[in-house]
Amino acid sequence: MIWNPQYETMPRPQLEKLQLERLQALVARVYEKVPFYRQALQERDLTPESIKSLADLSRLPFTVKQDFRDNYPLGLVAVPMDQVCRVHASSGTTGKPVVAPYTANDLRMWTEVMARSLTCAGMGKDDVMQNAYGYGLFTGGLGFHYGGERVGATVIPTSTGNTKRQLMLLQDLGTTVITCTPSYSLILAEAALEMGVDLRLSKLRLGIMGAEPWSEQMRAEIEAKLPIQAIDIYGLTEVVGPGVSVECPHKCGMHIFEDHFLPEIVDPATGEPLPYGQVGELVITTLTKEALPVIRFRTRDIASLNPEPCECGRTLVRMSRIAGRTDDMLIIRGVNVFPSQIESVLLEVEGVEPHYLIIVDRERHLDDLEIWVEVSEAVFSDEMRKMEALQQKVKQEMEGTLGIGARIKLVEPRSLARTEGKAKRVVDRREL
Ligand code: DLL
């Protein structure tokens, strides 16, 4: 099934014509409305009239995560605040989040691409969709929620956690589609086993999973244990949230909804555009967004693009699985974490040094975060109570900034290895 055949199966020449028109309108809009973009264009002697073909896209400046930080909270917004009807957010590189506002039209567009995504994944109006993505500032919960309702399915907004209740509702309400991170699906499977629940007897048949990296091996494990078809879905807060791209049941790459999101692959080192098929950094331009349009946003995600038509009938370009990141962002229990955020917390807390080691592991499918932190010489003491209080303080501050729990281990002054050059601050023991 195809939700919107007009756009999803549009012949490519026609699609490219539409993309060019939309790109020209976008550049004109940001040039007029967003000082940051006007300045960036002027620095390159560009005006909206400079965009004459899609190839001119590569003349436009990039936008990077740091630009969001420099313009925090709403400096990149292209509409007056009274037109903003919702705001989401995700982790920034330090204490301040990336703020993503939406107009009413943006929300309609997002719901449309989510309805397309869920349909593309194989969901329909007769399905019961249990949505175990987090509701709140994270885009996963509400993004899937409105998409599911638009498709006409029955939506159960369980949000994250409370695995026993998830399993109870899954059985009692006849859930057919689970939407959650791939790692959470394995937690569900394991809990089911422990509770003596045989998921093969349930109606569950499909999982629509993303928000964190996973592999083909992990897909095989999920499909064997749950047992379902597991479909990959991709998106990011800066661009819209989930719904940028999704696999169809052929599982041969994620179709990008190119009438709204214009993709490129660039060489991460030079920024030069790379041809179809080559692996590099995914860059996305939002063609229709009103509140937070982004020009050539460097996602830091590594992928390649394939324009061959798919058996499903969609003419949209497909992107590969995300093969990694060009920066040091970690995704821990679905939450984006930057080592620089951890450092910014340690700089704030008296009694500890910004020398740390982050150890990430996956125990029984659950990500575990431990941070080793060096105590300052001056406060280092044998007094248990003092050290415990300091540890609690770091823990609280850390959880406040990161939004997830972390175990803090205080270590002696100067005990963490110093390296010349790039410090090794992360040990990631997870195997996907
Ligand atoms: O994770 C949006 C989302 C929600 C996508 C639910 C899919 C399902 P952010 O929190 O801004 O948004 O994180 C975006 O997560 O740049 C990737 O590094 C990573 N990511 C998202 N989807 C996938 C995926 C949401 N399918 C960041 N595979 C992105 C691998 C993914 N990584």
Q: Ligand 1 pocket test: which of 118, 135, 321, 331 has the largest number of ligand atoms within 8 Å of its C-beta? A: 331
Q: Is 70 exposed, middle or buried (0-12, 13-18, 19+ CB in 10 A)?
A: exposed
Ligand 1 pocket mutation pick from 118, 215, 322, 337 by most atoms within 8 angstroms of CB: 322
Domains, the chain, in order of start with CATH, read 1-327 (3.40.50.12780), 330-431 (3.30.300.30)
Residue 18: in which H helix or E strand, if any? helix 12-33
What would the two tokens of residue 75 be?
């400096």
Check if the beta carbon of residue 126 is closer than 8 Å to that of residue 14: no
Whether ligand 1 lies within 6 angstroms of the CB of 140 is answered as yes
Ligand 1 center to residue 212 CA distance, Å? 5
From the CB of residue 157, how many other CB atoms can be counted at a distance below 10 Å? 16
DSSP state of 310: P
Q: Residue 385: helix, strand or coil by DSSP?
A: helix
Q: pTM score, two decimals? A: 0.94
Tokens 């009694």 — which residue? 351
Q: How far apart, in whole angstroms, are the C-alpha atoms of residue 252 and residue 233?
A: 12
Q: How many Å lie between the centroid of ligand 1 and the Cα of residue 118?
A: 16
What mean pLDDT is reported for the chain? 95
How many angstroms does the Cα of residue 233 sit away from the middle of ligand 1?
8
Residue 138 CA to residue 227 CA, distance in Å, equals 27
Other beta carbons less than 10 A from residue 245's beta carbon: 28
**Ligand 1 contacts CB of residue 141 (under 6 A):** no
- Ligand 1 neighbour 236 (Cβ under 6 A): yes
Q: Is 322 in the pocket of ligand 1 (CB under 6 A)?
A: yes
Band (422; pLDDT cuts 50, 70, 90): low
Stretch 69-76: mean pLDDT: 96
Closest atom, ligand 1, to C-alpha of 321:
28
Q: What is the rounded CA–CA span in Å between residue 386 and residue 392? A: 10
Best CA proximity match to 199, nearest among 190, 209, 208, 211: 190
pLDDT of the residue at 423: 72
Give the tens place of pLDDT for each residue, 374-407. Answer: 999 888 877 888 899 999 999 999 999 999 999 9
Q: Indicate which residue's Cα is closest to atom 28 of ligand 1.
A: 213
Which atom of ligand 1 lies closest to the CA of 300?
16
**What pLDDT, on the 0 to 100 scale, is given for residue 417?**
83
Cis amide linkage into residue 73, ω under 30° from 0: yes
Give the span between the Cα atoms of 217 and 182, in whole angstroms. Answer: 12
Check residue 64 and give its pLDDT: 97
Could you report the per-residue pLDDT of 289-322, keeping only the tens digit for each?
999 999 999 999 999 999 999 999 999 999 999 9
pLDDT in tens, 205-263: 999 999 999 999 999 999 999 989 999 999 999 999 999 999 999 999 999 999 999 99
Q: Which of 169-183, 264-278, 328-342 has the lowest mean pLDDT?
A: 328-342
Q: Is 8 in the pocket of ligand 1 (CB under 6 A)?
A: no
